[in-house]
Amino acid sequence: MDCVAAQTESACESGLLRTAEGTPLRPGGVALTERAMRGGRWRPGELVMDLGCGGGTSLRLLAAHGLAAIGVDLSHAALQQARQGGAGWLTQADAASLPFRRSSMHGVLAECSLSLMPDKVLTELWCVLARGGRLVVTDLYRRGPSCDVAAFLPRCLAGLMSAGEWQVRLASRHFALQRWEDHSDVLGAFMAQFIFAQCDSGRSWFGDPCDAIEASRLRQAIRVIRPGYMLFVASKEGHDDG
């Protein structure tokens, strides 16, 4: 179970799992990325960070719209792939400690990456954004109640926050929530493609076939928390010091 969960996480996070079209497997695909970009309302020439840029697909999209896009990722393998794909600026860095000056970014795009990161990353992003700069996030969230079977969930699902929790958290970090949209309908297609993309035909989405009890508990936990997918746009409020 842990092996599959780990595989799931690294596959998702690194953006290395690919769809039939060859694009990185990500809920909502390119269509959702474009929608996210429109939410950012960035103007050509503005500096936008792709947090967790993976193989660089979104970077290229940002660049295609005339934005000065800079990709940040912890994974060396992902950055190599992004470089080979022709992405421009890339930095290997920990999101909790970004190598940028305060208020230097006009925008941050974080697709399927923020929910896996510790809380201080949000503070770090606030520092790095200029006043009025927009943070655009697409990610998993929790539509149902949290439950105490989190032990059976893979890491990417165990700590999901609800819409309400997100809103409280953003407000407490001095972000103004401009838009919140539910896009949970993309998860079905995402999960189906994930199953097809697995190279080991014996494995299922829910773990090793012999581990039927774990698999059943995992499905039960998922039915309780009801993972969903969201897009939100938030802007930096408050004065900055630098």
Partner 1 sequence: MDGQQVRAWEAQCIEEQPPACVTNCPVHVDVRQLAGHVRRGDFSAGLAVLARSIPFPGIIGRICDHPCEGACRRGEAGGAIRINALERACVAWAGQRSPLRPQGQRRKNKKRIAVVGAGLSGLTVAVDLATKDYQVVAFEAQDRPFDRLHAYDPARLPCSVIAADLAAVRGLGIDLRYGCRIGSGGAGTSLAALVEEFDAVYLGVGPAGFPAGAGVVALDPQGRIVVDPTTFATGHPKVFAGGSHRYGGEPYSPITSVQDGRYAALSIDRLCQGASLTANREQQGVFPSRLYTDVRAFAPAPAITPADPLQGYTKDEAIAEATRCFPCHCLECVKACEYLKHYGAYPRRYVREIYNNDSIILGNHKANRMANSCSLCGLCAALCPERLNMGDVCLDARQSMVAKGHMPPSFHDFALRDMEFSNSGRFFLARHQPGAAASAAVFFPGCQLSASSPEGVAHAYAYLQEKVAGGVGLMLGCCGAPARWAGRVEQLDATMRAIVAAWEGLGRPGVIAACPTCQRMLEEKLPDASVTSLWAMLERVGVPASRPLLRAPTFAIHDPCTAREDRVTQDSIRRILAKIGVAAADLDDPGHTTCCGYGGLMSFVNPEVASKVVRRRIEENPADYVTYCAMCRDNFARHGKRAVHVLDLLFGGGGADPAERPDPGFSRRQENRARLRSTLLRTLWREDMPTEEPKLELSLSPAVQAQAEQRLILLDDISAVIAHAERTGEKFIDKASGHCLASFRPVSVTYWVEYARQGAAFVVHRVYSHRMDLSMEPPT
Partner 2 sequence: MTSEPALVCGRCERPLQLGKVAVTYLGNRFPVELLRCPVCGMVYVPEELALGKMLQVEQALEDK
Which residues here bind partner 1, judged by CB under 8 A? 147, 216, 219-220, 223-224
Residue 10 binds which entry of partner 2, partner 1, none, with Cβ cut-offs from 5 to 8 Å by kind? Answer: none
Residue among 2 and 21 whose Cβ is closer to partner 1:
21
Smallest separation (angstroms) from partner 2 to the CB of 198: 8
Residue among 10 and 216 whose Cβ is closer to partner 1:
216
Smallest separation (angstroms) from partner 1 to the CB of 219: 5
Smallest separation (angstroms) from partner 1 to the CB of 155: 22
Please enumerate, as own/partner, the contacts of 187-194 that have beta carbons within 8 Å and a separation of 24 or more. Answer: 187/27, 187/227, 187/228, 187/229, 189/27, 190/25, 190/26, 190/27, 190/28, 190/229, 193/19, 193/20, 193/25, 194/8, 194/17, 194/25
Q: Which of these segments, 83-91, 94-102, 106-114, 182-190, binds partner 2 (CB under 8 A)? A: 182-190
CB 123 within 8 A of CB 173: yes
The vertex-109 CA angle with 119 and 93, nearest 5°, equals 60
CB 160 within 8 A of CB 141: yes
Residue 191 binds which entry of partner 1, partner 2, none, with Cβ cut-offs from 5 to 8 Å by kind? Answer: partner 2
Residue 224 binds which entry of partner 2, partner 1, none, with Cβ cut-offs from 5 to 8 Å by kind? Answer: partner 1
What CA–CA distance (Å, rounded) separates 23 from 55?
Answer: 9
Residue 167 binds which entry of partner 1, partner 2, none, with Cβ cut-offs from 5 to 8 Å by kind? Answer: none
Q: Per CB under 8 A, which of residues 200..229 are in contact with partner 2?
A: 201, 204-205, 219, 223
Q: Which of these segments, 34-42, 77-85, 173-181, 189-197, binds partner 2 (CB under 8 A)? A: 189-197
Residue 180 binds which entry of partner 1, partner 2, none, with Cβ cut-offs from 5 to 8 Å by kind? Answer: none
Does 198 bind partner 2 (CB under 8 A)? Our answer is: yes
- In 10 A of CB 112, how many CB atoms? 24
CB 204 within 8 A of CB 156: no
In which residue are the tokens 């022709």 written? 86
